Amino acid sequence: MTAADIHRTILAVWRNEQPRLITSLSRMLRDVPLAEDLTQEALVAALEHWPATGVPERPGAWLMATAKRRALDHLRRGKMLAHKHDMVARDLEQEQQAIPDLDAALDDDIGDELLRLIFTACHPLLPQEARAALALRMICGLTTGEIARAFLVPEATVAQRIVRAKRTLSASGLAYETPRGEELSERLASVLEVVYLIFNEGYTAARGEHWLRPQLCQEALRMGRVLISIAPHEPEAHGLLALMELNASRIAARTDQAGDPILLMDQNRALWDQLQIRRGMLALAQAVQLGGAGGFYALQAEIIACHAKASAVDDTDWPRIAELYAELAKLVNSPVIELNRAVAVGMAEGPAAGLAIVERLAGEPTLKTYHLFGSVRGDLLYKLGRYAEARDVFEAAAGLAANDRERELLKRRAAQAADAAASS
């Protein structure tokens, strides 16, 4: 093995163990940011020792013992309360007498602590990008460099965000607390928001060379799966997971070989990931069973589920999708949702019905600069045989598109409409 191989192996082992390390240390120190620092130190220790000694047979136990020793040192240095110190020292002594075996590590229920960790990382007091960075670092075990690469920002920026966020948490006394009761649902909303942000950052990358950054989707999915295991009674957690699994099921079909986007209607459905669709459907059923059918994430998941169930575009249940968008619009007042409803209504009841909704939206200020508004409107006009109007609308929309690939597509459609206008 080369040094780089050993390094990667150590990181992989560490990532597997990291949630258990950080939760145990949090419980010991009652301080999540500090626990995070010390788990990092355990990683550094592993990187120093294991290249020479090899990866120990029970790497988890090694890392845990190392991290706890650091925590103990910290408590000593800080002259913490004597009894706390004694308590920890006693624990450690017992553990060193009998290094915890694999089974003990497996028995260690970290659910509550992990939930606390997630709530801390996604605290509403922190700026959104800091929450995302902390979550990826503390829950997924990503390094600062990996997070920076994923979000296409300099490593120093991420490092600074993390340091500031941890300082904010420590200074505000929020370093170790779990919300209960009503606050829990509110705080959960903040957690779901962060996870969804990370997912979307990967799923519809607005910037950068690649349209998709699947790794961020995978990290968000992983967090979503963790969330439903530690907060199994929260319907929106299941709803979000369903939405992410179902969206992710189409990743392989969403781009062509050159990396250009392929729109839903044109995708090769044989490339949709059936295992992931099954998991998404299961999560959606859970959300519904828990009474969450009308939730923000569950509704969106159900819309995607309508597509997932259709083996061909023509089999799509457009009336149902139109209904779901109407429900979603009641929940969130957004012209973009209304525009999506217009597409569904156009498919379900014909282009005239869709266009009627679009025309009502024409005055919306947020849609004035939104190229997809023209794209939808032009498409409906074209289907109604109003080719000259469609051409003008497509041309105007092309001028608004920020993404080259999308602009090309709209220009092509404008030319197509112009040809149809000339020959009719």
According to CB under 8 A, which residues from 216 to 235 bind another protein? 218, 221-226, 229-230
Interface mask toward another protein for 95-114; x: CB under 8 A:
------xxx--xx---x---
According to CB under 8 A, which residues from 58 to 87 bind another protein? 58-59
Q: C-beta of 315: minimal distance to another protein in Å?
A: 23
Q: Does residue 411 belong to the site contacting another protein (CB under 8 A)?
A: no
Do 132 and 198 contact (CB within 8 A), yes or no? Answer: yes
* DSSP letters for 279-328: HHHHHHHHHHHTT-TTSHHHHHHHHHHHHHH-SSGGG--HHHHHHHHHHH
Which range in 5-13, 25-33, 77-85, 119-127 contacts another protein by CB under 8 A? 5-13
How far apart are the C-alpha atoms of 406 and 349, rounded to whole Å? 27
Task: Write 371-377 long-range contacts (CB < 8 A, 24+).
Answer: 371/397, 371/398, 371/400, 371/401, 371/402, 371/406, 371/407, 371/410, 372/339, 372/397, 373/339, 373/397, 374/400, 374/410, 375/410, 375/413, 376/339, 376/342, 376/343, 376/346
Question: To the nearest 10°, the Cα dihedral for 319, 324, 327, 331?
Answer: -150
Closer residue to another protein in complex, CB, 199/325: 199
Q: Which of 244, 324, 231 is nearest to 284 (CA)?
A: 244
Q: C-beta of 117: minimal distance to another protein in Å?
A: 13
Q: Does residue 143 belong to the site contacting another protein (CB under 8 A)?
A: no
Pick from 45, 80, 252, 396 the residue near another protein by CB under 8 A: 252
Closer residue to another protein in complex, CB, 9/157: 9
Pick from 15, 85, 149, 407 the residue near another protein by CB under 8 A: 15
Half-sphere exposure in the Cβ direction for 54 (13 Å, CA): 3
Q: Does residue 19 belong to the site contacting another protein (CB under 8 A)?
A: yes
Q: Which residue has the tokens 């903040």?
A: 190
Task: Give the helix ranges, DSSP H, for 30-81.
Answer: 32-53, 59-77
What the block records as the tokens of 38 is: 């010390």
Closer residue to another protein in complex, CB, 134/417: 134
Q: C-beta of 16: minimal distance to another protein in Å?
A: 6
Which range in 56-64, 344-352, 369-377, 411-419 contacts another protein by CB under 8 A? 56-64
Q: C-beta of 251: minimal distance to another protein in Å?
A: 9
Q: Does residue 423 belong to the site contacting another protein (CB under 8 A)?
A: no
Closer residue to another protein in complex, CB, 221/281: 221
Q: C-beta of 229: minimal distance to another protein in Å?
A: 4
Binding site for another protein (CB under 8 A): 8-9, 11-13, 15-16, 19, 57-59, 101-103, 106-107, 111, 215, 218, 221-226, 229-230, 252, 257, 271, 275, 279
